[in-house]
Amino acid sequence: MRVLICDDNVDSANTWAALLDAEGYDVRISHFGDGCVQEALVWQPQAALVDIGLPGINGYAVARAIRASAGGAAILLIAVTGYDTPQDLAASEAAGFDHHFRKPADVDAVLRLLQTGRSRR
């Protein structure tokens, strides 16, 4: 399974990449919102872990752009962010995220979602 990690925090992105790589996932990283969208369009991952507070376009815009792209509806989009107010959760859902985790995310819960590909849709 291809998983795209979109996080401007290099340590966080690298930690997720190492963890997912050890679990057998094919992983790529982008540290910018625009780069995340481009990588998703070209590489076509099955899942993406996306921070909301990205430089360039934010994670909400990333999710909307991915969802609007050909094949974007099939990508499991998981927000992994420090943004966790009720308004943030509503904005996350409206943007097209399937799930929303506050940092630090429950690794086991994220792995279960990736293993099952479970979407709210």
List the structure tokens of 55. Answer: 């430089």
What are the E-state strand segments in the chain?
2-6, 26-30, 47-50, 76-81, 99-102
List the structure tokens of 9. Answer: 């925090």
Q: Which residues contact 15 (CB under 8 A, 6 or more apart)?
A: none
pLDDT tens, residue order, the chain (121 aa): 999 999 999 999 999 999 999 999 999 999 999 999 999 999 999 999 999 999 999 999 999 999 999 889 999 999 999 999 999 999 999 999 999 999 999 999 999 999 987 665 4
67: left (phi over 0), alpha (psi -120 to 50) or beta: alpha
Question: Taking the chain, what is the end-to-end CA distance rounded to the nearest angstrom?
Answer: 19
**DSSP 3-state of 94:** helix
What residues make up the domain containing 83? Answer: 2-96+104-116
Rounded to two decimals, the pTM is 0.94
Please report whether residue 40 resides in a domain.
yes
- Domain tally for the chain? 1
Domain CATH for 23:
3.40.50.2300
